[in-house]
Structure 1
Amino acid sequence: MSLVIALDGPSGSGKSTVGRHLARVHGLGYLDTGAMFRAAAWYCHHRGIDLDDAAAVVDAVATLPLELDLDPDATGVVVDGVDVTAAIRTTEVTTHVSRVATNLGVRAELKASQRAIIAREGTPQGWSEGRGIVAEGRDITTVIAPDADVRILLVARAEARLARRALELHGSADDGALEATRDQIERRDADDSTVSQFLAAADGVVTLDSSHLSLAETLAAAERIVAEQRGS
């Protein structure tokens, strides 16, 4: 039977880490929807499209030549034949991605793509050969996959999320690294919250607060939630 796990939450809450772990444990595909928005931002910038021209951005994204690897251990992103896996994580893309992600036309285009990817993973033609998928990102638990078998909202205190993202990006959580990262966490959440609800759990969505949990404890808690939601 196919299994769909949906993960939502603010920046730095651990969606990617938890998502990849659950995908490995259950043999599922892994979809990082945030990477899709980053890829769209990279593509528009690469083509010289003004991100303030909403219609032009939507037109570009409508034909976005995007390829995603759903293997949780090899989450590659290719745009128009170019491997942009590393490029979409640069500060330049991170700084501008919310301008694309808050474009409602872009969201509509990518939501359709996300639903199609999730549906395909329930078939033998999918990367998981029908076992299912873990999808994480904005709107996943409420708009994209409201009927997912398991829906989890990952949250953590702002300072905990900031420290984790600083370690990820800069290898340190000292004062300098924290300040260099703060804008990415606080501004992106503020921008994205204008078009998406990811700070409070909707009905049927289980909240997992990892503020005071180690990584191992967070992953174990997520596994317990999956088991409970599946009735096993």
Structure 2
Amino acid sequence: MNAQVDVLEHVVIAVDGTSGSGKSSTCRAVADRLGLRYLDTGAQYRAVTWWMLEQGVDVHDAAAVAARAGEPVLVSGTDPLAPTITVDGVDVSVQIRSDEVNAAVSPVSAVPEVRARLVAMQQAIIAPPGGRHGGIVVEGRDIGTVVWPQAELKVYLTADPAARAARRALENGGVDAASIAATRESLLARDEIDSGRAVAPLTMADGAVHIDSTELTLDEVVDAVVGLVMERR
């Protein structure tokens, strides 16, 4: 195990992909299995969105969001078994998963000033200046393209819309047909916004390995990613 940890000491695994494709569960399990840190960049964008809503900022007014993008103080925990996200010292891990944040996160994430600030934060977490920091699994939508294109392994994780909607609806406590249909429309709308935004659109990075999780169990996806990591090391 020590030899493995030494080999993976500075490895960066970048996992991008669509909402509901299993990124969070996969990344946390991979990080835990390999003894690595974990960073959910989507939680950071959600945290900023939550803060904007709390402050009464019109999230559809890009100039208003940009003007206050530097104010919230964010801290991301990197323990894959207990990831945390705080804003101004308050744990908002639950609040950032609300319907209100779900509906507002894409327009906030598209604001260049928000992305510039959070990308800089993410890069500092991946490789803190001046010291040993350990390897990390980072999930998001622009990790392999913008945040850390030099990652040793880049994965692009997807699943078909029906499977993603069923998974996300189940996470949110709704398993009836109406809940799944509404979730599917929400996911597709976010995909369209994220893929079409001018800054850091959702796209598969050069050299990324595409994994379609539609017909795979979580363990099978995790095994595939861990296998790819070990092949490259």
Same fold (TM over 0.5): yes
Task: State the match for 1:157 in structure 2.
Answer: 160
Task: State the match for 2:101 in structure 1.
Answer: 93
Task: State the match for 1:176 in structure 2.
Answer: 178
**Aligned residue pair count:** 223
CA RMSD of aligned residues (A): 1.7
Q: Distance in 2 between matches of 1:190 and 1:170?
A: 25
Deviations 1:74-130 (A, max 9, x none): 111111122111000011111111110111221111111111111129933xxxxx2
Q: Does 1:68 align with 2:70?
A: no
Alpha-carbon contact 1:115-1:145 (below 8 Å) kept: yes
Q: CA distance change for structure 1 residues 53 and 177 in 2, over 3 Å: closer, same or farther?
A: closer
Q: CA distance change for structure 1 residues 58 and 214 in 2, over 3 Å: closer, same or farther?
A: same
Q: CA distance change for structure 1 residues 121 and 211 in 2, over 3 Å: closer, same or farther?
A: farther
Aligned residue runs from structure 1 range 116-127, under 5 A: 116-120=124-128, 123-124=131-132
The alignment partner of 2:231 has SS state of helix
TM-score by length of 2: 0.90
Aligned residue runs from structure 1 range 3-18, under 5 A: 3-18=11-26
Query: Identity across aligned pairs (percent)?
Result: 46
- CA positional deviation for 1:149: 1.1
Task: State the match for 1:25 in structure 2.
Answer: 33
- CA positional deviation for 1:165: 1.0
Q: Distance in 2 between matches of 1:202 and 1:2?
A: 20
Q: Any stretches of 5+ residues in structure 1 without a counterpart?
A: 125-129
Task: State the match for 1:208 in structure 2.
Answer: 211
Alpha-carbon contact 2:19-2:187 (below 8 Å) kept: yes
Alpha-carbon contact 1:122-1:131 (below 8 Å) kept: no
Q: Distance in 2 between matches of 1:152 and 1:168?
A: 23
Alpha-carbon contact 1:29-1:121 (below 8 Å) kept: no
Q: Any stretches of 5+ residues in structure 2 without a counterpart?
A: 1-8
Q: Which amino acid aligns with 2:202?
A: F
